A = this chain, B = another copy of it.
């Protein structure tokens, strides 16, 4: 492994000064040079297999062309498409992404955040979901560029990209009411997670818009946005509210837990219980039954967030935009009219 060539080597080979070589190699400054010199340097660089040392460059320019992406857990099928969207938007601009999984654990989050900082990331894409977030305090304190993904802003001046959760809850409830349901429960996520909070309030508004009384639209909070939490929540729901004919889950994983709970009790979905999920994550159409759910374009969320971050890196003080991406209902086989209609 012989030493990597430097600008100096390239310059020597091309018979010019280092700074001239540097200018030839930088697209932005290339136009300063005579066509011919630029050419000669390029050829020299290519023949040596020259590749700029990003440490040296970064040390000078204070830019790393690198962003840090913080997500709760890549295993949640929500996030892979978001990450791909991010990559897709970043790559043409020469940026590369670090990925960190935090499990929404403050300690893990802090460790990764500092790791990113010390690696001089130019900005952050933050998709973690805790509401009281020291990371965001730090971001604000240090004045680092950041864009939030799929969460609430918490009174901070940061750009935000999310799906339209309120609207999603509305169309979910609309659908259930349209096919005849009147007693609709919501399996909410934990109140620490901003997504869960927004969807909960969206559910309440939607129920109210159909004049469904609270007594007919009970809410059960699950301990997480997970399959296990969903199964536990559904168990409680089923034993305390046998009158309910439909469930709106805070996300597809909770919905999957509901399917398991129903199966364990020998209940049929959709005949005994209709079920609507949220996210239309991958494989939601492979469940038994295929899940009716609110579709969100996660890839788009990722790419729009990355785009906003790139904008921010250019204009750090532009007002922070909030983007709510549209959702749509995908009706599959987990919903149908209720067996007995109470209305």
Residues of chain A touching chain B, judged by Cβ–Cβ distance below 8 Å, are 1, 51-56, 58-59, 64-66, 73-75, 77, 79-81, 83-84, 87, 91, 94, 96-101, 111-112, 114-120, 142-144, 256, 259, 282-283, 286-289
The smallest beta-carbon distance between A309 and chain B, in angstroms, is 16
Q: How near does chain B come to A5, taking the closest CB pair, in angstroms?
A: 12
In the complex, residue of chain B having the shortest beta-carbon distance to the beta carbon of A288: B288
Quickly give the copy total for this chain: 2
User: 5 A–B contact pairs at CB < 8 A?
Assistant: A55-B55, A55-B58, A56-B59, A99-B99, A286-B286
CB of B111 within 8 A of CB of A91, answer yes
The residues of B that contact A282 with a CB separation of less than 8 Å are: 75, 77
A53 and B84 contacting across the interface, CB-CB below 8 Å: no
> Is the CB–CB distance between A120 and B83 below 8 Å?
no
Residues on B with beta carbons closer than 8 Å to the beta carbon of A144: 1
A286 CA to B282 CA, complexed, in Å: 12
Known A84-B75, A96-B98; contact A118-B288, beta-carbon cutoff 8 A: no
* Sample of 13 more A-B contacts, CB < 8 Å, known A55-B120, A91-B111: A51-B114, A51-B118, A52-B118, A53-B118, A54-B120, A55-B59, A64-B119, A73-B80, A77-B77, A83-B99, A84-B101, A91-B112, A96-B115
